[in-house]
Structure 1
Amino acid sequence: MSAIRQTETRPATDTLLSVRGVETFYGKIQALRGVDIEVHRGEIVTLIGANGAGKSTLMMTICGNPQARSGQIVYNGQDITNLPTHDIMSMSIAQSPEGRRIFPRMTVIENLQMGAILEDEANFDEDLRKVFTLFPRLKERRGQRGGTLSGGEQQMLAIGRALMSRPKLLLLDEPSLGLAPLVVKQIFEAIRELNTNEGLTVFLVEQNAFHALRLAHRGYVMVNGSITMSGTGRELLAREEVRSAYLEGGAH
């Protein structure tokens, strides 16, 4: 498969997700330090950084667990900073978490049904067709238990399950983690297709900076819980600090 194409920069549109001055703690340990990010409708925005930088903590803070100790998170015009997770996730936000976390004893179809549990049953067949078109391997494995799938198939299932809820915002936490390079390209091309064809807004947390920045319209770099750089995906790919810190061995 050829290399992933560079995503063209889009003009700024209205903001779907705004994170302002967010600080998050685990007990007395501060994990996020005054984080500011914005995600506009129809964009793919990525957050890159080393393992332990605080990327997944930001994703979890957006979802309400843990909650921000200070700062503000606004989604679709509503302040969600102090809302419980179940309320946030019922607002057309879907997450494919780090480590996939599918239901291993359930079949592929049953996992997808769990993703659609809050959605209108009338949409199920149409949404299922879309997921199977995006990930044909899942159609082949539809009756197979999730725990017996390969790592790449499990990641496809985790994303497919999230899509079954018809989200306005898709949160992806380390979708390439532990996957072979060919499978990584397939996953990232599927994310691009969702954004291009469906207009889906995506916030992507990734260690694989090369693929993430080529995919994203805009990106942020996190170091020790703080945002240290931001720009278009193309701009960040060209920055020497980014190339030396994050791209060595990443351009597969």
Structure 2
Amino acid sequence: MSSQAQDALLSVRGVETYYGKIIALRGVDMDVHRGEIVTLIGANGAGKSTLMMTICGTPQARRGSIHYDGQDITTMPTHEIMRRGIAQSPEGRRIFPRMTVLENLQMGAQLVDPRHFRDDLDKVYALFPRLRERAAQRGGTLSGGEQQMLAIGRALMSRPKLLLLDEPSLGLAPLIVKQIFGAVLELNRTEGLTVFLVEQNAFHALKLAHRGYVMVNGRITMSGTGAELLKRDEVRAAYLEGGVH
């Protein structure tokens, strides 16, 4: 491993992932360092969510390696990877719709010392006050924005070192997107939480991120700081023209 990869909390090298005989990721290299917000942008179907799922072990990479916190997790089962301090807020939220908000948050805390539960719950409620108001309400009756807050809150209850966010702005009103991204930034600034963000909303994602990568057809085609990528003509033409500025 290179020294840069050794310094990273998450290091992806030469990863190829397949669905049957169809290749979805083509030799992906990527690093996420401690305390960073790193974003991966790209068009729908570019392979962004596949990379995040591959990091979590389903599907597993057929070639290449994934190292997290100094350990090779490439062939580990998903539950073992999650026990090591990775939490995911998946695309589509995937909360437990029949459970209350509080019960969903309790599910997120399954793998950590129960002595932390009350403090961690208060932190999530401080970050998303709406969840405190809705604590006894079933998850399936929440608005889309509230469900996204709950999905992130549930992930935070596991006390992750690395938070994976898959399309957190999808289908949400601009004001709610601003709240969600504001909460992510606050977590990073105040707690030093490391975040890997997969997003179609390139403008908001690159403004938020320390560094970013661009994926096209399963390959990383560009990388740089968020500010650098925002200025690139190719990025502006492909992902920002006509978008929210």
- List aligned pairs for 1:2-41, cutoff 5 A: 14-41=7-34
- How far the C-alpha of 1:250 sits from its partner, in A, is 2.5
CA contact under 8 A between 2:58 and 2:78: conserved in structure 1? yes
- How far the C-alpha of 1:198 sits from its partner, in A, is 0.4
- List aligned pairs for 1:1-252, cutoff 5 A: 14-252=7-245
2:19 maps to amino acid: Y
Moved >3 Å (runs of 4+): none
Deviations for 1:199-229, whole angstroms, at most 9, x for unmatched residues? 0000000000000000000000000000000
CA contact under 8 A between 1:13 and 1:40: conserved in structure 2? no
Deviations for 1:101-158, whole angstroms, at most 9, x for unmatched residues? 0000000000000000111110000000000000000011010000000000000000
1: CA distance, partners of 2:68 / 2:243: 32
CA contact under 8 A between 2:6 and 2:70: conserved in structure 1? no
Structure 2: which 5+ runs fail to align?
Answer: none
- How far the C-alpha of 1:13 sits from its partner, in A, is 10
1: CA distance, partners of 2:143 / 2:95: 12
Q: Which has the higher helix share?
A: 2
1: CA distance, partners of 2:99 / 2:17: 35
SS at match of 1:89: helix
RMSD, aligned CA: 1.1
1:196 maps to amino acid: R
CA contact under 8 A between 1:13 and 1:41: conserved in structure 2? no
Structure 1: which 5+ runs fail to align?
Answer: 1-11
CA contact under 8 A between 2:15 and 2:64: conserved in structure 1? yes
SS at match of 2:38: strand
State the number of aligned residues: 241
2: CA distance, partners of 1:248 / 1:238: 12
Evaluate the alpha carbon distance shift between residue 91 and residue 49 of structure 1 in structure 2; reply closer, same or farther with a 3 A threshold.
Answer: same
Give the corresponding residue for 1:8.
Answer: none
Among the aligned pairs, what percent are the same residue?
82
